[in-house]
Chain A
Amino acid sequence: MYLSATRSADAAAATPTGAWHRTLRLVAPNVVALGAVSLITDVSSEMVTAVLPLYLVAGIGLSPLAFGFLDGLYGGATAFVRLIGGQFADRRQRHKLVAGTGYALSAVCRPAMLLATSVPAIGAVLVADRAGKGLRTAPRDALISLSSPEGEQGRAFGVHRAMDTAGALLGPLVAFWVLTATVQQYDAVFVVSSCFAALGVLVLVLFVGDQRGKTGGSVRMTLSALRRPAFARICACAVLLGVATVSDSFVYLLLQHRLDFSPRYFPLLPVGTASAFLLLAVPMGLAADKAGRWRVFLGGHVLLLGVYALLLSPVDGAVLVVAALASHGAFYAATDGVLMALAGPLLAPETRAGGLAILQTGQAAARFGCSLLFGAAWTWWGPSQAVGAAASLLVAAGAAALILRPREA
Chain B
Amino acid sequence: MIKTRLTVLLTAIIVLAVIATGYTLHAAGRQDSGGGRSGAFDLRTPGQLVFRDTEMGPNKDHLAAVPARDPGGARAVSDIACARFYAAAGTGVCLRNRPGLTPSYDAVVLDASLHETHRYPGTGIPSRVRVSAGGRMAAWTVFVSGDSYGGAFSTRTSILDTRTGHLISSLEDFSITKDGSSYRSPDVNYWGVTFADDDRFYATLATKGKTYLVQGEVGAHRVRTLHENVECPSLSPDGTRVVYKKKVKPVSSGSPWRLYALSLKTMQETPLAEPRNVDDQAVWLNDSTVVYALPGDFGTDLWTVPADGTGAPRELVGKALAPAFS
> A265 vs B145: C-alpha distance in the bound complex, in angstroms?
10
Question: Does A80 lie at the interface of the complex (its beta carbon under 8 Å from any beta carbon of B)?
Answer: no
Question: Does B162 lie at the interface of the complex (its beta carbon under 8 Å from any beta carbon of A)?
Answer: no
Check B299–A61 contact: CB distance below 8 A: yes
Which of B20, B145, B279 touches A63 (beta carbons < 8 Å)? B279
Question: Does A375 lie at the interface of the complex (its beta carbon under 8 Å from any beta carbon of B)?
Answer: yes
| Minimum CB–CB distance for B121 against chain A, Å | 10
Check A58–B295 contact: CB distance below 8 A: no
Q: Interface centre among A60, A65, A253, A263, by most B CB within 10 Å?
A: A65
Check A182–B28 contact: CB distance below 8 A: yes
Check A64–B143 contact: CB distance below 8 A: yes
Residues of B within 8 A of A202 (CB): 8-9, 12
Please judge, given known A-B contacts A54-B97, A207-B5, A249-B151, whether A182 and B27 are in contact too, CB under 8 Å: yes
Interface size class of A (residues with CB under 8 A): 35 or more
Check B24–A192 contact: CB distance below 8 A: yes
Number of residues on chain B facing chain A (CB within 8 A)? 58
Interface of chain B, helix or strand or loop or mixed?
Answer: mixed
> A266 vs B145: C-alpha distance in the bound complex, in angstroms?
8
Question: Does B147 lie at the interface of the complex (its beta carbon under 8 Å from any beta carbon of A)?
Answer: yes
Binds A, one of B65-73, B98-106, B109-117, B194-202: B98-106
| Minimum CB–CB distance for A150 against chain B, Å | 27
- Per-residue contact bits, chain B 233-269, to A (CB 8 Å; 1 contact, 0 not): 0000000000000000001101110000000000000
| Minimum CB–CB distance for A313 against chain B, Å | 21
Residues of B within 8 A of A123 (CB): 254
Check A250–B299 contact: CB distance below 8 A: no
Please judge, given known A-B contacts A191-B19, A378-B149, whether A61 and B101 are in contact too, CB under 8 Å: no
Residues of A within 8 A of B30 (CB): 182, 185
Please judge, given known A-B contacts A120-B254, A123-B254, A182-B28, whether A57 and B143 are in contact too, CB under 8 Å: yes
Binds A, one of B123-131, B172-180, B214-222: B123-131
Residues of B within 8 A of A10 (CB): none
Check A182–B24 contact: CB distance below 8 A: yes
Check B31–A183 contact: CB distance below 8 A: yes
Which of A57, A182, A183, A191 touches B81 (beta carbons < 8 Å)? A183
Check A179–B99 contact: CB distance below 8 A: yes
| Minimum CB–CB distance for A107 against chain B, Å | 12
Residues of A within 8 A of B252 (CB): 69, 73
Residues of B within 8 A of A203 (CB): 9
Check B28–A185 contact: CB distance below 8 A: yes
Q: Interface centre among B81, B151, B299, by most A CB within 10 Å?
A: B151
> A383 vs B150: C-alpha distance in the bound complex, in angstroms?
12
> A191 vs B19: C-alpha distance in the bound complex, in angstroms?
8
Question: Does A408 lie at the interface of the complex (its beta carbon under 8 Å from any beta carbon of B)?
Answer: no
Please judge, given known A-B contacts A53-B153, A64-B125, whether A182 and B295 are in contact too, CB under 8 Å: no
Which of B8, B61, B103, B296 touches A54 (beta carbons < 8 Å)? B103
| Minimum CB–CB distance for A46 against chain B, Å | 12
Residues of A within 8 A of B153 (CB): 53, 64-65, 68
Check B127–A191 contact: CB distance below 8 A: no
Check B24–A69 contact: CB distance below 8 A: no
Residues of A within 8 A of B127 (CB): 57, 63
| Minimum CB–CB distance for A44 against chain B, Å | 11
Residues of B within 8 A of A120 (CB): 254-255
Check B299–A264 contact: CB distance below 8 A: no
Check A195–B16 contact: CB distance below 8 A: yes
- Per-residue contact bits, chain B 135-164, to A (CB 8 Å; 1 contact, 0 not): 000000001111101111100000000000
| Minimum CB–CB distance for A18 against chain B, Å | 25
Question: Does B63 lie at the interface of the complex (its beta carbon under 8 Å from any beta carbon of A)?
Answer: no
Residues of B within 8 A of A195 (CB): 16-17, 19-20
Check A62–B146 contact: CB distance below 8 A: no
Residues of B within 8 A of A185 (CB): 27-28, 30-31, 60
Check B149–A375 contact: CB distance below 8 A: yes
> A57 vs B83: C-alpha distance in the bound complex, in angstroms?
9
Question: Does A134 lie at the interface of the complex (its beta carbon under 8 Å from any beta carbon of B)?
Answer: no
> A199 vs B279: C-alpha distance in the bound complex, in angstroms?
37
Which of A58, A176, A199, A252 touches B100 (beta carbons < 8 Å)? A176
Check A172–B5 contact: CB distance below 8 A: no
14 A-B pairs with C-beta separation under 8 A: A54-B97, A58-B125, A61-B299, A64-B125, A65-B251, A119-B254, A119-B255, A181-B24, A182-B31, A188-B23, A198-B16, A253-B151, A263-B147, A267-B145
Q: Identify the B interface with A (CB < 8 A).
A: 5, 8-9, 12-13, 16-17, 19-20, 23-24, 26-28, 30-31, 60-61, 81, 83, 97, 99-104, 123-127, 143-147, 149-153, 251-252, 254-256, 277, 279-280, 293, 295-300, 321
Closest 3 CB pairs of A and B: A185-B27, A188-B27, A266-B146
